[in-house]
Amino acid sequence: MSVLLRLSGMCLRLILTSPFYWTLVVVAFWICWRHALSEWAWAGFSAMAAVLALALAMFVDSGGGLVERVLLAQAGYLVLAAGVAAVLALSLLTWAAGVMVLR
C-alpha cells in the first residue's frame, strides 16, 4: 500500500510539474467558460490533460527513461494503478474547483 501511495505521489508530481498539463488545463477552462459547458465536461477535459501529461512524462521526457525503469522492474500494473489513482484524485479536485468557479 505504501508503495502504491508513493508511486501515486510520483505520478501526481509528474502531472503537476508539467507545463504541458497547465497549458491544456487553461485552454480547457477557457473553452468550458466560453461555451458554458457543464462541470462534467470540464472534469473530463482536465482528466484527459492529466493522462496526456503523465504519458508525456513517461514516454518522452528523459528519452523515455521512466517507462524503461518500469519495464525493468516489471512494475507496469503497479504504475498503471498508481497513475489511475493520481488522475482520478486530480480530476475530482479540478471538478470541485470547476463547480465553484463555472456555476
Partner 1 sequence: MATPIILEVRNLSVPPRLRGEVSFTLREGQRLCVYGHSGAGKTTLLRALFGLLAHRGSVVWHIPRASAGYAAQCPRLIPRANVLQQILWCSALHGASLSVHGSRIHDLLEWWGLEAHRHRLVHRLSIGERLRLELCCAAAVASRLLVVDGLLEQLDERTRRRFWEEMDARCARRELALIYATHSAREAELADHVLMLHEGRVLAMDTPEHLRAHAELQAVYLEPVQESSRSAVQATFCADGEVRLTIHPVATMEDVLQALVRRGGLE
For residue 64, the Cα-to-chain-centroid distance in whole angstroms is 18
The span of 11-19, 25-33, 35-43, 90-98 binding partner 1 (CB under 8 A) equals: 11-19
d(CA 5, CA 70): 16
The span from the CA of 49 to the CA of 47, in Å, is 5
**Residue 77 interacts with partner 1 (CB under 8 A)?**
no
Positions 12 through 41 that interact with partner 1 (CB under 8 A): 13-14, 17-18
Candidate list 24, 32, 57, 90; residue touching partner 1; CB under 8 A = 57
38 grid coordinates: 457543464
Angle at the Cα of 62 (from 58 to 63), degrees rounded to 5? Answer: 85
Q: Which stretch binds partner 1 (CB under 8 A): 31-39, 43-51, 60-68, 92-100?
A: 60-68
Stretch that binds partner 1, among 22-30, 40-48, 63-71, 88-96 (CB under 8 A): 63-71
Cβ distance to partner 1 smaller for residue 9 or 26 = 9
* CA diameter of the chain: 47
Residue 11 near residue 29 (C-beta atoms within 8 A): no
Question: Would you tell me which residues interact with partner 1 (CB under 8 A)?
Answer: 2-3, 6-7, 10, 13-14, 17-18, 57, 61-66, 68-75, 78-79
